[in-house]
């Protein structure tokens, strides 16, 4: 994984974008599978249900594995170009709709993942900075074959930096 793992919050005309760029010691194809295969997503991010094709609708269960939970994100698959680009709509209870894009490219002995969460309100962007930071640390554990660390501890450690950004 890259040394600078911190995300960057950038104001845009449509809100705030949270951007991460991380290097993973795996192939682009394996990294793509890690972020699009429901079985693998469940190992580091959470259970995902739905139709994971362009125009399909998904539900990511981040808290408990219960349909309709207030901790779930839902949305539509907007773009999907295996193994390099995924764009999804993101709807989370109590927040304005936003989008998440994931781009993957080969890089030397591994692959780079660029994750952007776009169109966020500022307060939400700071929280998502800590949240995506924790989740991408878990992704690193997963692709490296290590036990995946708990999200709550990773989030608690990362969040203060994003609140100060």
Q: What digits encode the pLDDT tens for the residues 33-75? A: 999 999 999 999 999 999 889 999 999 998 766 666 778 999 9
Confidence of residue 24 (pLDDT cuts 50, 70, 90): very high
Homologous superfamily of 8-164 in CATH?
START domain (3.30.530.20)
Task: Return the biggest CA–CA distance within the chain.
Answer: 42
The pLDDT of residue 68 is 67
Q: What digits encode the pLDDT tens for the residues 78-89? A: 999 999 999 999
Report pTM.
0.94
Domain boundaries defined on the chain? 8-164
Confidence of residue 1 (pLDDT cuts 50, 70, 90): very low
More confident position, 66 or 109: 109
């Amino acid at each position: 994984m890259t040394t600078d793992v911190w995300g960057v919050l950038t104001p845009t005309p449509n809100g705030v974008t949270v951007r991460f760029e991380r290097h993973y010691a795996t192939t682009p194809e394996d990294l793509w599978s890690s972020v699009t295969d429901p079985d693998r997503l469940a190992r580091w991010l959470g259970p995902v249900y739905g139709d994971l094709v362009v125009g399909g609708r998904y539900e990511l269960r981040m808290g408990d594995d219960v349909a309709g939970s207030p901790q779930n994100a839902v949305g539509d698959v907007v773009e999907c170009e295996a193994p390099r680009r995924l764009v999804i709509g993101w709807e989370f209870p109590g927040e304005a709709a936003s989008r998440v894009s994931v781009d993957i490219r080969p890089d030397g002995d591994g692959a780079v993942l660029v994750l952007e969460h776009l169109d966020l309100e500022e307060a939400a962007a700071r929280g998502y900075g800590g949240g995506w930071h924790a989740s991408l640390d878990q992704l690193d554990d997963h692709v490296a074959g290590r036990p995946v660390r708990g999200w709550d501890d990773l989030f608690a450690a990362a969040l203060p930096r994003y609140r100060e950004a």
